Amino acid sequence: MKRTPFATVIVLAAATLAAPAFARDDGPRFAQDRLDELVAQHKEANRHIAQGPSQETHAQSKARHQSAS
């Protein structure tokens, strides 16, 4: 298969122009912010799990049990 110089130039130009759209270099500050966000989310989830079933969940299950009777 023979490549034409025009097609090669078009492909190289498209690749060069598309590269910045896919590159992500937000630096270490972005990474640290994201890590802090995930750690906080994990702490909140652990706290929520440690609390056990919430009052609302307990009330819902009680209401379902009463309506089934």
DSSP the chain: -PPPHHHHHHHHHHHHHHHHHH----HHHHHHHHHHHHHHHHHHHHHHHHH-S-HHHHHHHHHHHHHH-
pLDDT of residue 23: 60
Tokens found for residue 63: 């209401």
Q: Write the pLDDT tens digit of every residue in 13-52.
A: 887 777 666 666 667 778 888 899 999 999 999 999 998 8
Is the pTM value of this prediction over 0.85? no
pLDDT band, residue 65 (cuts 50/70/90): low
Domain that holds residue 25: 5-68
The total number of structural domains that make up the chain: 1
1 C-beta neighbours (distance < 10 Å), count: 2
What CA–CA distance (Å, rounded) separates 61 from 69? Answer: 13
